[in-house]
Amino acid sequence: MTRIIRSRRNRGRHPVPLALLPDPASLAAHIARHLAWLSARGFSPHTVRQRSLCLAAFLAWCNDRAIYKPHELSPLIIDLYQRHVSKIVKKDALPLAPSSQHKKLIAVVVLGRWLVRERLVATNPAADLELPRKGIRLPAAVLTVEEAEKILAVPDVRTPLGLRDRAILEVFYSTGIRRSELARLTVADLDLGAGVLAVRQGKGKKDRFVPIGERAAAWVAAYLRDVRPLLAMHQDEGVLFLSSDGLPIPPETLSTTLNRIVRAAGIGKPGACHIFRHTMATLMLEGGADIRYIQQMLGHANLDTTQIYTHVAIHTLKAVHAATHPGASLRPHQTADADTAATSHPRPHLAILLDEDEAESEALPN
């Protein structure tokens, strides 16, 4: 691990790898051990990398204040660090979002628990740290059906890579899987005849099965038949979507490619891979799908994460509001029509929103 030391003496110079630090009792050395412990416990490489960056910033802050050993940490030190994090300004001159502050601080909390577990400190100095509430962030953009079709039509399917890109878009739109999940798909994960796709080692290292629509399955079948044999020039490990050099497509390349396609569609909305995940969930919810089925498709461990789409699927909510609220229209309210319209729209989403508000109000102090 590098880039974790930035003391006054080292500022502006090359970073010092933790493994080369001479003092095994230093806070830096113990952080390196903690990160290795996270890896050994099965945390994903992405999580370990994020924790590494967060703890690198924490260690640099400690070094600038001559805090070099675990026992020198205290609740006051942690509180001062939290105040420091709350004042960090990004390149765009905006403060860190609560979710970013939460990410930086939770790494310190978990480190404190580990220091107690290893009997390096008597108590967790971050035990009383009040983490900022992450809140609910709505997706930056969600596509309409017409906008989605415009994007799907952008790739030139007469070319091998264009047909591949169309198949990728169709899989994202149909299944709503994550970018990393699509990058790891193998040919063996597909059962096109049954219309099922296996997502292996998704977030939290959990497997799940999701349905894939007939149209997406047809495009994937065309890709497998006409394009993939041309791309699989090297030793074939069975990864489904390949780059022009025959290797698995990196997640970053997927984002770059899809961002270019979205911009080429001229819909005026930003996005790449994740916009299809948001769109799939929102359109299914507006179509009347039970939110628990959407939770299963998205691979959310907690239903609260899926409930964000009850805030996004506003069209159905507007229809119910217009049909049932006596002050929603300039015309006189008709009770019979309202009752009929209300029963024609799915109402569980309203109940979910009300339950969420009630739960939040109960959490407030009296």
Active-site residue (options: 30, 102, 300, 349) = 300
pLDDT of residue 343: 45
Cα–Cα distance measured from residue 230 to residue 182, given in angstroms and rounded to the nearest whole number: 20
Active-site residue (options: 84, 200, 274, 345) = 274
* CA neighbor of 65 nearest in space, from 56, 54, 77, 53: 77
Across residues 232-246, what is the average pLDDT? 86
Q: Which amino acid is at 94?
A: L
Q: Where are the domains of the chain?
A: 18-117, 145-281, 313-363
Cα–Cα distance measured from residue 257 to residue 90, given in angstroms and rounded to the nearest whole number: 27
Q: How confident is the model at residue 342 (pLDDT cuts 50, 70, 90)?
A: very low
CA 146 to each of CA 39, 142, 153, 334: distance values in angstroms, whole numbers, following the listed order? 44, 12, 11, 33
Please count the other Cβ atoms lying within 10 Å of the Cβ belonging to residue 145. 10
Across residues 284-288, what is the average pLDDT? 78
pTM beyond 0.85: no
- Based on the residue annotation, tell me whether 178 is a catalytic residue of this protein: yes
End-to-end CA distance of the chain: 47
Q: In the predicted model, is pLDDT for residue 305 greater than 60?
A: no
145-281, CATH topology level: hpI Integrase; Chain A (1.10.443)
Whose tokens are 């009929």? That residue is: 340
18-117, CATH topology level: DNA polymerase; domain 1 (1.10.150)
Cα–Cα distance measured from residue 45 to residue 131, given in angstroms and rounded to the nearest whole number: 24
DSSP state of 344: T
Q: Are 28 and 18 in contact (CB under 8 A)?
A: yes
Active-site residue (options: 178, 184, 278, 349) = 178
- Based on the residue annotation, tell me whether 102 is a catalytic residue of this protein: no
pLDDT of residue 82: 93
- Based on the residue annotation, tell me whether 166 is a catalytic residue of this protein: no
CA 81 to each of CA 7, 106, 234, 254: distance values in angstroms, whole numbers, following the listed order? 16, 12, 50, 37
Active-site residue (options: 166, 228, 309, 349) = 309
Active-site residue (options: 203, 263, 269, 311) = 203
Cα–Cα distance measured from residue 128 to residue 200, given in angstroms and rounded to the nearest whole number: 37
pLDDT of residue 286: 77
Q: In the predicted model, is pLDDT for residue 225 greater than 50?
A: yes
pLDDT in tens, 168-194: 999 999 888 888 899 989 999 998 888
- Based on the residue annotation, tell me whether 300 is a catalytic residue of this protein: yes
- Based on the residue annotation, tell me whether 206 is a catalytic residue of this protein: no
Query: When comparing pLDDT for 121 and 299, which is higher?
Result: 121
Q: How confident is the model at residue 354 (pLDDT cuts 50, 70, 90)?
A: very low
Non-local CB neighbours of 164 within 8 Å, separated by 6+ positions: 223, 227, 228, 231, 241, 242
Active-site residue (options: 30, 164, 277, 349) = 277
pLDDT in tens, 60-97: 999 999 999 999 999 999 999 999 999 988 877 788 88
